[in-house]
Amino acid sequence: MSARRLATVAIAGVLLGACAPIPRPAVLDELEHVRAGAAAAEAKRYAPGAFARAEKLRNDAIAALDNEDRSGAQILGEQAVAAHAHAHALSRVARAEAAGTEAKAQRSAGEASLAGLGAEQARVAAEVDALDMRIKVARDAQPVVPSGKADADREKARLAAARSLALQARLLCGAARLLAAPAPPGNTEPGGAQPAGAPSAGAPSAGGDLAAQLEEATAAIKKLDADLAEAAGSARAIPSPIDQASRARAGCLAALTAARRAATPVTRAPGMGDALLAELSGAGTWSPARDDRGIVVTLRGLFAGNALTKAGEARLRDLSRVAAAHPSFPVAVVVHTDRDITAREEPAWAARADAVVRALDPAQGANAAAAQATPRIAPFLAGSAAPVVDPGGSERARNARVEIVFVTPETL
């Protein structure tokens, strides 16, 4: 064979190798297996919003693979698997609570007189406790499979997911504390609903058990933060605490659910959150959403430097009127940044959060002692742990935002 033919064959081999498709990440096969299971079908029915988010992440992962971005596909695929697991957890809770609500409605409909109401409430409460026990037994019967070791890209994705879960845990526990705090005297919803945090007739107390539950969840978050710092700062490869982060979030969600249950009258069907969501949506000036904490309004462009703009103050005044009309809903002000911030920058960002709190409730901002006694509006600095767009992309500025969270005070 001549030298020219050998060179031609070598060039053709190189071109064929260059045109070969990039290998498909194994996590995408795992994702397809998850989507085909019964858990995904249940999530699609009972938690359609969370299921839709998981599907979007899957579509983004496939699009990244089509664009030959294997690392992006790997990360997005890992996030999609985690999102499907989260959607399944939400669907189980929604299905159980729907069954409990239906049972309470059926029993309430059979009440013949006010004299029998107390006995009926006690029976419904006992059934709810029994349902909680069955859920706990079923959950505990399913062993938690450790995540195990992974390659560098997957561990990086797990670390980012663990940071996000840790932030969610802090916000959920913060919402639980807001509900557990005593409400100001006379603070009721129109129509006579009891204030959040005040135990209703026939409901369990939100005192000792909830305080212990919150203390345990807070300790888990502190341990998680320490492990995250170690994983991020270590020169050697340390597995990310993704499983620990999932458990910490679950613990805070359980505490928030317990706080809501303690404040929800057994004889009243939930609906306050639905009413507030409908009111904000009907106004046409907001784009409210719902998550585990409650009703969320996201605002951008509130600040010029460290000061609120006039337009931002006007938007917050409108929301303050909504908050005043629904005093049973504590409010969490969550400030997100578009980049990691240093310890020196934290006071400035915390001051922005405080400025939003004062704009929402000038009386609380003027009386710090009263605000600490009844923290109906509380600030949280989230940092950059929960981006909504690519933190390294051209639209990363959208990650800088303020969430006004009306914490739903009742069982969902």
Question: How far is it, in rounded angstroms, from Cα 200 to Cα 214?
Answer: 20
Question: What proportions of the chain, in percent to the nearest 5, are helix, strand and coil?
Answer: 65, 10, 30
pLDDT at position 318: 94
Q: For the segment 279-304, what is each residue's pLDDT rounded down to a tens digit?
A: 999 988 899 999 999 999 999 999 99
Q: Distance between CA 131 and CA 140 in Å, rounded?
A: 14
**What's residue 186's pLDDT?**
45
Contact 344, 369 (CB under 8 A): no
- The pLDDT assigned to 62 comes to 85
Structural class in CATH, domain 273-412: alpha beta
**Are the beta carbons of 62 and 28 closer than 8 angstroms?**
yes
Low-confidence residues of the chain: pLDDT under 70: 1-22, 110-127, 129-130, 132-134, 136-148, 150, 182-207, 234-237, 265-270, 363-375, 412
Kindly report, residue by residue over 356-412, the tens digit of the pLDDT: 999 998 765 445 544 444 458 999 999 999 999 999 899 999 999 999 999 998 875
Question: What's phi and psi for 182, nearest 5 deg?
Answer: -65, 140
In this structure, are residues 405 and 331 in contact, taking their beta carbons and an 8 Å threshold? yes
Q: What is the pLDDT of residues 339-370, one digit of tens each?
A: 999 999 999 999 999 999 999 987 654 455 44
**Nearest of 404, 310, 320 to residue 362 by alpha carbon:** 320
Closest CA to 210 of 267, 276, 256: 256
Q: For residue 155, what are its two tokens?
A: 């561990």
Domain segments of the chain as ranges? 22-106, 163-264, 273-412
Beta bridge partners of 307: 304
